[in-house]
Amino acid sequence: MAPPAARLALLSAAALTLAARPAPSPGPGPGPECFTANGADYRGTQNWTALQGGKPCLFWNETFQHPYNTLKYPNGEGGLGEHNYCRNPDGDVSPWCYVAEHEDGVYWKYCEIPACQMPGNLGCYKDHGNPPPLTGTSKTSNKLTIQTCISFCRSQRFKFAGMESGYACFCGNNPDYWKYGEAASTECNSVCFGDHTQPCGGDGRIILFDTLVGACGGNYSAMSSVVYSPDFPDTYATGRVCYWTIRVPGASRIHFSFPLFDIRDSADMVELLDGYTHRVLARFHGRSRPPLSLNVSLDFVILYFFSDRINQAQGFAVLYEGWTVYGLATLLILTVTAIVAKILLHVTFKSHRVPASGDLRDCHQPGTSGEIWSIFYKPSTSISIFKKKLKGQSQQDDRNPLVSD
């Protein structure tokens, strides 16, 4: 069942852009600190709700009047401990912390953590709607999740997928998706209507993803990148058989790590194969978890995933990095390139921030833009107010990750 050649071109091009983008690319220096869409895996040390103008977080070992504290969760569940770092112990859409002792008024807040953005999440952007940042096609769904939107866009060969207001999905290839400006990540905290633990944008705020995220298969050739399990950040579906090729020209070895690995079933598995001989180099599953890192002395590796008919789970994120014999020199060049790219991006971003009214370049699919206007957004503030109340009550939530785990 080989996908058409066009798909290959699209995927490898997308793979390259995924790694060429400075912000989410892993690699040298401090890498991303989150690999889940909602930062449930965040274990960093930010203890303010925002780096600028935020509020200091209360210590989890001093919040006994609230449902989440170290007395109730003494074994580090959800990353709680004798500290005041932002955490997401309750399956919310983003890490948060308590900012007040008592539950009148605002007593907890989402944290804006720049380091907590999973690779493939391109950020939260403003959408003035006319035209929207992604002009390819769109749909609305009251069962929307991040991956149902990504799959919808991927199936139509778009590079980017964006979710807005919890139930709207936009697709496009628009390289200028940032044209109305970037927004704080905390402004993209509307829950997805189909999964209340995932963020799906906000009012006039679109959260963007690369459609490579959660694809079942693909060809990667960048020096470093991240491969997610199929259907990520949803749980992987049953009966999945996926192959990804990782071919890093000039690499003497490829370094792998699994920042996220949640496969409970021992029949479901992840394998690393020699790209040339197809020999199995390593096999991991529910009872045989991967080591922190491993090196393969090859420039061509195949990643394989299989799931049987039962027991779905969150899945995995595999981070790979090719090393050449001139590894250090390459790293240095990569770092410098990333910095220069970042500066350039910043400069371009700034100078384009306010688009001149006559400067609207025509889109590639002008014919399809008509249907987009028909989408009507209701303010979603009621949802966040409702949730603010919820956190105060003794969490009768449909699912509490701390209890269920």
Ligand X SMILES: *[C@@H]1O[C@H](CO)[C@@H](O)[C@H](O)[C@H]1NC(C)=O
Residues lying near ligand X in the complex (CB under 6 A) are found at 2-3, 7-8, 11, 45, 47, 56, 59, 61-62, 82, 84, 217-219, 245, 255, 293-295
CB-count exposure of residue 262 (10 Å: 0-12, 13-18, 19+)? middle
Rounded to a whole number of angstroms, the minimum distance from the CB of residue 81 to ligand X is 8
CB of 322 to ligand X, least distance (A): 11
User: What Rg value do the Cα atoms of the chain yield, rounded?
Assistant: 21
Report yes or no: 281 and 246 within 8 Å, Cβ to Cβ. Answer: no
**Calpha distance 122→231 (Å, rounded):** 18
Q: Which is nearer to ligand X, 245 or 369 (CB)?
A: 245
Residue 72 or 255 having the CB closest to ligand X:
255
User: By C-beta, is 28 or 401 nearer to ligand X?
Assistant: 28
Residue with smaller CB distance to ligand X, 148 or 257: 257
Helix (H) or strand (E) holding 79: none
Task: Using the minimum distance from each CB to ligand X, give the nearer residue, 70 or 190.
Answer: 70
The CA distance from 42 to 32, in Å, is: 10
For residue 84, the minimal CB distance to ligand X (Å) is: 5
| CB neighbourhood size of 373 (10 A) | 11
Minimum distance of ligand X from residue 45's CB (angstroms): 5
The candidate with the shortest Cα–Cα distance to 302, out of 317, 282, 323, 288, is: 282
Distance, in Å, from the CA atom of 110 to the CA atom of 50, rounded to the nearest integer, reads: 9
Least distance from ligand X to the Cβ atom of residue 200, Å: 26
Distance (Å, whole) CA 236 – CA 242: 11
Helix (H) or strand (E) holding 54: none
User: Please, which residue, 95 or 218, has the CB nearer to ligand X?
Assistant: 218
Q: Which residue is nearest to ligand X (CB)?
A: 56
Q: Which is nearer to ligand X, 125 or 244 (CB)?
A: 244
**Least separation, in Å, of the C-beta of 330 and ligand X?**
12
3-state helix vs strand vs coil in the chain, percent to 5 = 20, 25, 50
Counting Cα atoms < 13 Å in the Cβ hemisphere of 368 gives 13
Residue 356 CB, nearest approach to ligand X (Å): 39
Beta bridge partners of 121: 209
Measured from the CB of residue 96, what is the shortest distance to ligand X in angstroms?
15
Q: Residue 387, exposed/middle/buried by CB under 10 A (0-12, 13-18, 19+)?
A: middle
Which residue, 47 or 140, has its beta carbon nearer to ligand X?
A: 47
Measured distance between the N- and C-terminal CA atoms of the chain, rounded to whole angstroms: 38
